[in-house]
């Protein structure tokens, strides 16, 4: 087994001389084999090892005993051990999730605090686990991507150096050296999906092919290579018509649906990954998303869960993790020489102007005012707002102007309206300026708006 693991490590460059490895050990036979394996090679590889074990506070004190067992065994090997206690039942109740999901979320959240960005979290998943995972994905109608030997997970570098060995390799390694371990009785409980695959499907498959883990690994490698190429193509295409911001991604619907289906699917998941959405919980949403995106609902919102939502407005779609809480109305005074930061991230400033200065007509506005017109007011829109556009007779509703300019609904409440002290609208930046700019006055001002129209 040792040679197989080291060969696999050489192929994927999982750990190197001097690495700080955090070993996730439960006390079961798989993770105990991993603990002893790294203890065996530690001196040769000059590794900095730390064991992490979690007491999930389940099974009436047995999980506490498991954690204590791991601590004793690890320290006997000269490897420091951190025992982490988490309250799974409380998390379950709060977020209305299953036992395994709650335990997993708490476990990785705790690991992250120790591993950080420089260490590597080592998991004891083996080839049989890979077989189970890929068949489980197939059963759900998902592409069987399986588990990667190395990946970023919860902002940690996670490695799985045992994916090329079978469960029997680990049990033989343990029995040959008469090494102790503990068994979690819930591993035999068929109420959990993975256990049903492990206890019933895997033995049947191994009757047909005892080296199924090797066959699956070859398939996994081929699928991974194909996936990497398609993802690269999706990244390139999405970059042509998408704007990636801190908490949202906006893209052209027409351009997106013109992509081949394989690139659409990967583009969708690239967005969720970029926004740090838990994709394990969102893998099955693409068909519903594309049905909504291509439906005859020009302006609508689709929110499959509390993590994220998609907003469709004309030919633009925004996927965001921002709260959908209504924006509070705002009203900001702006005096001569002042600069204001607006709720949508833009800034607006006002200064005196002389004829020698250049003007960006898209982002700047020149007006003549009297002292009585100051301070200017910058505010959010209000029901009934009307503006008298320069060069046109009469007035027009700001609401209608937004519609004519195809400004997405989600942006309208934060879009600034600039008005005089007397309440007359002067400018709706990037969209319309009013007849106010044709007036004469004692002061000549330049208004500058800065920000991206994403």
Fold of 2-210: Rossmann fold (3.40.50)
- Residue 447's DSSP bridge partners are 350, 365
Taking each helix axis as running N to C, give the angle between helix 261-274 and helix 286-293, from 0 to 180 degrees, rounded to the nearest 10: 110
CA–CA separation, 138 and 266 (whole Å): 18
User: Please, are residues 293 and 256 in contact by the beta-carbon 8 Å criterion?
Assistant: yes
Q: Is 30 annotated as a binding residue?
A: yes
- Judge whether 28 is annotated as a binding position: yes
Map tokens 């090679």 to a residue: 41
User: What's the rounded Cα separation, in Å, for the pair 65 and 135?
Assistant: 33
Do residues 53 and 68 touch, judged by C-beta distance below 8 A? no
Q: Find the radius of gyration of the CA atoms of the chain.
A: 30
> What would the mean pLDDT of 380-403 be, rounded to a whole number?
92
Domain 220-320 CATH (choose: 3.40.50.1010, 3.30.465.60, 3.40.50.970, 3.40.50.980): 3.30.465.60
Which 8-state DSSP code applies to residue 25? Answer: -
* 332 is annotated as contributing to ligand binding: no
Structure tokens at 301: 């919102």
Q: Where are the domains of the chain?
A: 2-210, 220-320, 331-450
Percentage of the chain lying above the pLDDT 70 cut? 97
Rounded distance between C-alpha atoms, residue 275 and residue 253, angstroms: 19
Mean pLDDT of the chain: 91
- Residue 355's DSSP bridge partners are none
Query: pLDDT tens digits for 81-103?
Result: 999 999 999 999 888 888 888 99
Q: What is the pLDDT of residues 241-251, one digit of tens each?
A: 999 988 899 99
Q: At what angle do helices 2-12 and 29-45 cross, to 10 degrees?
A: 70
Using one digit for the tens of pLDDT, what is the confidence trace for 254-308? 999 999 999 999 999 999 989 988 665 556 788 899 999 999 877 888 888 878 8
Q: What does the pLDDT read at residue 322?
A: 76
């Amino acid at each position: 087994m040792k040679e197989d693991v080291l060969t696999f490590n050489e192929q994927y460059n999982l750990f190197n001389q001097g690495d700080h490895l955090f070993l996730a050990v439960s006390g079961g036979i798989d993770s105990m084999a991993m603990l002893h394996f790294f203890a065996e090679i530690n001196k040769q590889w000059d590794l900095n090892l730390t064991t992490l074990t979690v007491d999930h506070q389940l099974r009436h004190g047995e999980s506490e005993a498991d954690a204590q067992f791991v601590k004793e065994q690890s320290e006997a090997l000269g490897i420091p051990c951190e025992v982490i206690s988490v309250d799974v039942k409380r998390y379950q109740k709060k977020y209305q999730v299953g036992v395994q999901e709650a335990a997993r979320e708490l476990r990785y959240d705790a690991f992250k605090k120790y591993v950080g960005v420089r260490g590597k979290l080592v998991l004891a998943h083996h080839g049989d686990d890979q077989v189970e995972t890929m068949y489980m994905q197939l059963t759900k109608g998902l592409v069987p991507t399986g588990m990667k030997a190395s990946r970023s997970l919860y902002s940690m570098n996670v490695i799985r150096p045992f994916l090329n060995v079978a469960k029997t390799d680990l049990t033989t390694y343990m029995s040959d050296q008469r090494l102790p371990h503990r068994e979690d009785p819930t591993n035999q409980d068929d109420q959990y999906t993975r256990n049903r695959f492990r206890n019933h499907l895997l033995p049947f498959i191994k009757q047909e092919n005892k080296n199924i883990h090797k066959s699956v690994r070859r398939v996994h490698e081929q699928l991974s290579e194909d996936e990497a190429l398609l993802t690269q193509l999706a990244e390139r295409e999405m970059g042509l018509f998408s704007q990636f911001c801190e908490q949202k991604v906006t893209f052209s619907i027409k351009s997106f649906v013109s992509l081949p289906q394989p690139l659409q699917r990967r583009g969708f998941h690239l967005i969720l990954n970029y926004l740090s959405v838990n994709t394990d919980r969102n893998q099955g949403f693409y068909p519903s998303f594309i049905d909504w995106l291509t439906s005859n609902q020009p302006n609508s919102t689709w929110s499959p869960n509390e993590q994220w939502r998609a907003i469709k407005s004309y030919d633009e779609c925004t996927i965001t993790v921002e709260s959908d809480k209504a924006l509070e109305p705002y009203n900001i005074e702006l005096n001569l020489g002042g600069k204001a930061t607006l709720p949508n991230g833009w800034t607006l400033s006002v200064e005196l102007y002389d004829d020698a200065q250049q003007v960006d007509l898209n982002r700047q506005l020149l007006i003549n005012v009297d002292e009585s017109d100051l301070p200017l007011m910058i505010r959010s829109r209000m029901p009934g707002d009307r503006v008298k556009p320069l060069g046109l007779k009469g007035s027009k509703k700001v609401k209608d102007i937004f519609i004519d300019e195809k400004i997405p609904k989600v942006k309208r409440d934060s879009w600034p309206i600039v008005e005089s002290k007397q309440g007359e609208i002067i400018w709706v930046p990037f969209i319309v300026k009013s007849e106010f700019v044709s007036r004469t006055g004692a002061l000549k001002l330049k208004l500058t708006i800065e920000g991206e129209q994403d």
